[in-house]
């Protein structure tokens, strides 16, 4: 049964079979990012930042010394938690008409038309679901969130870190995060690809990388608990996590 499920998911990723059941697993709850952000902190029962595992308190203040993080440029931004789109916003919504050209609905209080993230995340129905989907949102160190920007994930050779003991690498416009979150990232990307196929989020070579990462870095108990918590809040599951949690 497990093998059948994995084959079905793989076929779904390449649009060989209908993703109808995955469409039912979309975010239909959160339409505003402010509400989605609050839900992310509720789901994060461990109260640790995603990439570097730094503890933070109820005021969203990070204990950098506790995790050996060294800020690269801004102590102020490094000391605060921000919400990171693991699949970045421009990948989620950058190909939508509202992002590229705007919409007749995208007019500010001064009558000026606008486009881009602000327009797409308000008025493109699929973008609204994906942009606010807490399956794809994680608490991160503000400086890391800023430095990561919209860069793609890849494996980097000759790594040099700028963040102390947090082995987060950026080079030539790509990011290689710590290996203990490779699988987490992979399963988020695989889920978002399967759930929102019309957004064309990943090329085939990226899918292969994420399948590799998911196998090398399987879901932990913490990831399984978070998956259940997100389901309790949003009503969705990441089935790529769930399948691995069933082995525990």
Domain annotation covers residue 101 = yes
In this predicted structure, the answer to whether residue 19 has a pLDDT above a threshold of 60 is no
Q: Comparing C-alpha atoms, which of 7, 29, 4, 8 is closest to residue 20? A: 8
- Strand ordering across the sheet containing 174-176: 152-153, 174-176, 169-171
Report the C-alpha gap between 133 and 137 in whole angstroms.
7
Positive/negative CA dihedral, 91, 92, 98, 99: negative
Please list, in sequence order, all residues whose beta carbon lies within 8 angstroms of the beta carbon of residue 117, skipping any fewer than 6 positions away.
89, 90, 93, 99
| 8 Å CB contact between 51 and 181 | yes
Q: Comparing C-alpha atoms, which of 57, 47, 54 is closest to residue 166? A: 54
- What is the average pLDDT across 215-226? 96
Report the C-alpha gap between 43 and 225 in whole angstroms.
9
Domain annotation covers residue 149 = yes
Report the C-alpha gap between 199 and 206 in whole angstroms.
15
Domain annotation covers residue 222 = yes
The domain containing residue 134 runs over which residues? 28-236
Domain annotation covers residue 18 = no
User: Which one has a higher pLDDT value, 101 or 13?
Assistant: 101
Residue 247: which pLDDT band, with cuts at 50, 70 and 90? low
CA torsion 23-25-30-34 (nearest 10°) is: -110
- What's the longest Cα–Cα distance across the chain? 58
- pLDDT at position 21 is 55
Domain annotation covers residue 40 = yes
Q: What is the pTM of this model?
A: 0.90
Domain count, the chain: 1
| 8 Å CB contact between 62 and 177 | no
Q: 119: helix, coil or strand?
A: helix
Strand 174-176 and strand 152-153: pairing? parallel
pLDDT (tens digit, 9 = 90+) per residue, 167-181?
Answer: 999 999 999 999 999
- pLDDT at position 11 is 41
Domain annotation covers residue 109 = yes
- pLDDT at position 161 is 83
Domain annotation covers residue 199 = yes
Domain annotation covers residue 144 = yes
Q: 139: helix, coil or strand?
A: strand
Residue 208: which pLDDT band, with cuts at 50, 70 and 90? very high
């Amino acid at each position: 049964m497990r093998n059948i499920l994995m084959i079905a998911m793989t076929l779904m990723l390449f649009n060989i079979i209908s993703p109808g059941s995955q469409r039912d697993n979309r975010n239909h709850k959160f339409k505003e990012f402010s509400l989605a952000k609050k839900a992310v902190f509720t789901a994060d029962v461990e109260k640790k930042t995603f990439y570097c595992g730094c503890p933070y308190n109820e005021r969203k203040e990070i204990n950098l010394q506790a995790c050996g993080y060294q800020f690269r440029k801004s102590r102020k931004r490094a000391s605060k938690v921000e919400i990171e789109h693991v699949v970045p916003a421009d990948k989620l919504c950058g190909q939508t008409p509202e992002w590229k050209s705007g919409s007749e609905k995208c007019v500010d209080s001064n009558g000026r038309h606008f486009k881009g993230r602000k327009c797409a995340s308000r008025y493109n129905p699929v973008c609204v679901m994906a942009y606010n989907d807490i399956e794809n949102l994680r608490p991160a160190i503000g400086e890391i969130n800023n430095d990561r920007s919209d860069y793609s994930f890849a494996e980097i050779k000759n790594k040099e870190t700028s963040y102390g003991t947090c082995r987060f690498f950026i080079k030539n416009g790509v990011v290689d995060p710590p290996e203990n979150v490779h699988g987490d990232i992979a399963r988020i990307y695989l889920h978002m690809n399967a759930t929102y196929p019309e957004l064309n989020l990943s090329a085939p070579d990226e899918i292969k990388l994420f399948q590799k990462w998911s196998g090398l870095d399987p879901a932990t108990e913490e990831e399984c608990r978070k998956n259940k918590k997100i389901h309790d809040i949003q009503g969705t599951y990441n089935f790529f996590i769930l399948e691995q949690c069933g082995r525990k």
